[in-house]
Amino acid sequence: MATIRDVSKYSGVSVATVSRVLNNSSKVKSTTKKKVLQAIKELNYKPNAVAKTLFKKQSYSIGLIIPDISNPFFPEVARAVEDTARHYGYRVILCNSDGNREKEKDYIEALSQNHVDGLLVTSISENSDNFKGLHMPVVALDRSKGKEIPCVYVDNYEGGKLAARTLFENGGKVFAEISGPYNLITAKERSRGFHDFLKKKEKTALTYEGEFDFKHSIVVAGKLLDENPEVDSVFVGNDQIGIALIKEAMLRGLRIPNDLQIIGFDGIEIGGLITPSLSTIQQPIYDLGKEATKLLLDLANKKHVEQTSICMPINYVKRSTTTG
Amino acid sequence: MATIRDVSKYSGVSVATVSRVLNNSSKVKSTTKKKVLQAIKELNYKPNAVAKTLFKKQSYSIGLIIPDISNPFFPEVARAVEDTARHYGYRVILCNSDGNREKEKDYIEALSQNHVDGLLVTSISENSDNFKGLHMPVVALDRSKGKEIPCVYVDNYEGGKLAARTLFENGGKVFAEISGPYNLITAKERSRGFHDFLKKKEKTALTYEGEFDFKHSIVVAGKLLDENPEVDSVFVGNDQIGIALIKEAMLRGLRIPNDLQIIGFDGIEIGGLITPSLSTIQQPIYDLGKEATKLLLDLANKKHVEQTSICMPINYVKRSTTTG
DNA sequence: GTGAAAGCGCTAACAT
DNA sequence: ATGTTAGCGCTTTCAC
């Protein structure tokens, strides 16, 4: 590998000058510039980004810490993050935390030692001191972090209410919910919104606490259906649970949406491709990732940001598991 | 940020000694070691991994270049890669190439300049000079690269044959295929295996060339069904096409598998969760990613590897879109 | 407009 | 067992 020193010798100028033409950092006579460019070409010289990072303390890379890339919500986020990062010349390091505090901490430490320029995190814990004392910006993704950390999120409470209203207005009589795990603030908020709306209508809903995961959801969905055959309207904590519920409902010969209405949450692509397609409260997943990345990079580059807390809109997408 | 120099001063020993305790690289008297450790703690010193990388020419990071993380096959791969890399102390940089040669090249150049220790690539092109002259190992994932590049893959040709045999033995009469794009060697091989088997049985199959993508598949699937209502057995290039075909078939009131049998390829998780669940030729997706990563890291660490070309087994998974 | 030299934070000879 | 020092490849004052 040729170094800047090789280029310097080959072209007969100093390394400083080579650096100047490399970075356009100050005027260089056009004839010497030409010589340098020529040398670079002939030696097939590529600047060593690590050396540059060491000096500049800027790596043009960010860390993306999510619970699990195999969970279908996150690939869409990751794609947005990567696209956006790339657009601004940044690379992204992918980290799966499994919602494990220790694993998250290990990653943060490693990323920090590698001088990434910022962290994008979907963390399990609302307030964690995993993020204390870092010398780089952190943006929380899909988790409202209160005032402590900049974040990009959706109003999960309103989403829950919207699901309840929809089910109610569609003529639902017996309501149920399979929520996400309550230790996730997002799941809790969705649930709270759902129940609050029903309460105003003097209705209640059976509630099962689930997980954001297919395997577990199959079990809970089956249980709900078996224990409560009278239920006709279910709100589920995310689309994966919804897909599991559809499967179990069909296995039991229920007609959807006539016997059973279902509303999911997230709007992952696959929800629209199954039969029946899953009605859902849709988050702008790609834009969530995109805006979070933009915010993070603005922060990393010390640009002025007028909003460090961005709430993105949700909306109800009617597909085939609801009547209206 | 404290540096090794700060620790050295604080503890009254040389930087070399500090480095020694940091890396356990040679014996240090236990009392001085204690002093150093104490200083490290009090100063909250963290070694700068970038500086180390510059010197050692080893970054403990690898690049993962795939077409698109939103394609459901790849999150499972990426998860395996990340798990395995992490297990060996490596980080992974995620890159989406969209199967675009130029984009792939840009990534390779950037990763190379950042001195990643190796590249894991699912490339579109079988033989590309994008990989020529790199000073780091490359492992091809799910793409047989001939002898040029180490690779981890499955026997797609056999998979295609297996699909054909299954459909045939289940009593299929009129066969069809929606293949993946022919410029992908994997798609072509699956298709070739499928047709070769049928030919031996003196059967033919209608063939539509598709894409490994939901949106496009919906269109092709609809077309196939409308233009050939007599078809009763379809092999599709991957599970996504299969899911699209199921959707379109149900839309048209076809009974699966009685009127129409479908076999997919890949074995992505969602295929088992839809109704009807998709029978498929399953690849060991996680293990593919795991073995590829292991191979790459062995290569990066110049360990002796007896096999630079690893073929993983496939198998038929009977679910609800086939009769047997 | 260009060059010399210091230094980013670390490791590894080479001394002692 | 420990210290001194020369880099790794780059950028950036500070001279000229």
- Tens digits of residue pLDDT in A157-212: 999 999 999 999 999 999 999 999 999 999 999 999 999 999 999 999 999 999 99
Give me the pLDDT at residue B145, please: 61
In DSSP terms, which residues pair with A234 in a beta bridge?
A: A176, A262
Nearest to A135 among B1, B68, B91 (CB): B1
Place of tokens 């070739």: B192
**C1' (D10) to CA (B90) span, angstroms:** 25
Residues of chain B contacting residue A96, judged by C-beta atoms under 8 Å apart = 79, 82-83
B283 to each of A107, B153, B237, B288, B317, how far by Cα in Å? Answer: 30, 9, 13, 8, 10
The token pair at B293 is: 């990563």
Q: What residue in A sits closest to B103 (Cα-Cα)?
A: A86
Residue B17: CB less than 7 A from any atom in strand D: yes
Give me the pLDDT at residue A128, please: 72
What is the pLDDT averaged over residues A314-319? 98
Give me the pLDDT at residue A127, please: 64
What is the pLDDT averaged over residues B252-270? 97
- In chain A, % of residues over pLDDT 90: 93
What is the pLDDT averaged over residues B185-192? 96
Is the C-alpha dihedral spanning A87, A88, A91, A94 positive or negative? negative
Per-residue pLDDT band for B142 (boundaries 50, 70, 90) equals confident
* Min Cα separation B196/chain A (Å): 31
**C1' (D15) to CA (A8) span, angstroms:** 20
Q: Residues A291-307: pLDDT tens digits?
A: 999 999 999 999 999 99
User: Over 70: is that where the pLDDT of B113 sits?
Assistant: yes
Give me the pLDDT at residue B123, please: 86
Q: What are the backbone dihedrals phi and psi of residue A109, each rounded to the nearest 5 degrees, phi first?
A: -65, -45
In this structure, which amino acid lies at residue B257?
Answer: P
Give the pairing of strands A61-66 and B91-96: unpaired
* Min Cα separation A299/chain B (Å): 20
Cβ contact, residue pair A94, B95, below 8 Å: no
- Residue B5, CA: closest nucleotide via C1'? C9
* Min Cα separation B244/chain A (Å): 7
- Of A118-132, B1-15, B51-65, the least confident: A118-132
Instruction: Report the distance separating Cα A168 and Cα A201, nearest Å.
Output: 9
Cβ contact, residue pair B113, A75, below 8 Å: no
Sequence-distant (6+) residues with CB within 8 A of A142 are A77, A122, A152, A153, A154, A186, A283, A288
In DSSP terms, which residues pair with A121 in a beta bridge?
A: A65, A140
Instruction: Report the distance separating Cα B224 and Cα B66, nearest Å.
Output: 29
CB-based contact B262:B256 (threshold 8 Å): yes
**C1' (D13) to CA (A58) span, angstroms:** 20
pTM score, whole prediction: 0.96
Nucleotides in chain C near protein beta carbons (<7 Å): 1-5, 7-13
What's the CATH number for A61-154+285-313? 3.40.50.2300
Which fold is adopted by the domain A156-284? Rossmann fold (3.40.50)
CA atoms within 13 A on the CB side of B95: 30
Query: Residue ranges of the domains in chain B?
Result: 4-47, 61-154+285-313, 156-284
The yes or no reply on domain B4-47 and CATH 1.10.260.40 is yes
Cβ contact, residue pair A75, B76, below 8 Å: no
Q: Residues A65-96: pLDDT tens digits?
A: 999 999 999 999 999 999 999 999 999 999 99
What is the DSSP annotation of A195-216? Answer: HHHHHHTT--EEEEE--SSHHH
User: Over 70: is that where the pLDDT of A255 sits?
Assistant: yes
How many whole angstroms from its chain centre is CA A255? 34
Domains B61-154+285-313 and B156-284 share a fold: yes
Instruction: Report the distance separating Cα B211 and Cα B317, nearest Å.
Output: 23
